[in-house]
Amino acid sequence: MEKDFCVRCGSHNIKTVEKHLQFTFPNPGTVEVDQKCNECQECGETYFDSKQMTELSHKIDEEKEKIGV
């Protein structure tokens, strides 16, 4: 994890979790993926490190390809 505290609430209680995420695009519409991210256990703020962001980008592209976009 790149951050050692939450910028929203200041907590140091940040854990890596897997979340079900939804993104809406003009075309194809809603894309859903599961992705590991870092989440503040106090306020729920979500953070992505560079590796997680790269994985997320690839998963979104794969889902869009499945739909034919």
pLDDT tens-digit profile of 5-40? 999 999 999 999 999 999 999 988 899 999 999 999
Residue 42 has what pLDDT?
Answer: 97
Give pTM, 2 decimals. 0.82
- Closest by CA position to 55, among listed 11, 4, 16: 16
Residue 57: CB partners within 8 Å, gap ≥ 6? none
Kind and range of the H or E run holding 57: helix 50-67
Residue 1 has pLDDT above 90, yes or no: no
CA 52 → CA 27, 29, 67, distances in Å?
Answer: 24, 23, 23
Residue 2 has pLDDT above 60, yes or no: no
